[in-house]
Amino acid sequence: MTGPNLNLLNDMARHIYKMENSDQAFRREIELKKVKQGQEFKRKPTAKTIYTKEHYNRKDAFGPASFTCVDTDDIGRSIELKPTTVVYIEI
């Protein structure tokens, strides 16, 4: 009989620790216009929903300038935010 794979156990413990402390990862406050396209962010540091910044919508007759942001868990759900909106990204 062989012993446990310590590398696997350490890897699993690292992933569990990261999942438990994931709320603390999104702490850097930044304006949405400075976030790179495709980068993930949260609207509040303690929020559960994570969004991805997508394309820019120019100002027109239908509304002001905004960025389309897609929910990472539900790609059919998106929101439009002003470029000056403060969001939180991973450190």
Structure confidence at residue 9 (pLDDT): 78
Taking the complete model, does pTM exceed 0.85, yes or no? no
Delineate the domains of the chain, giving CATH numbers in brackets: 25-90 (2.30.30)
Both structure tokens of 58? 């120019």
DSSP secondary structure letters along 57-76: E--BTTB--EEEEEESS-TT
Residue carrying structure tokens 């413990």: 13
Task: Write the pLDDT tens digit of every residue in 19-72.
Answer: 666 556 778 899 999 999 999 999 998 889 999 999 999 999 988 999 999 999
Question: Which one has a higher pLDDT value, 16 or 90?
Answer: 90
Structure confidence at residue 61 (pLDDT): 92
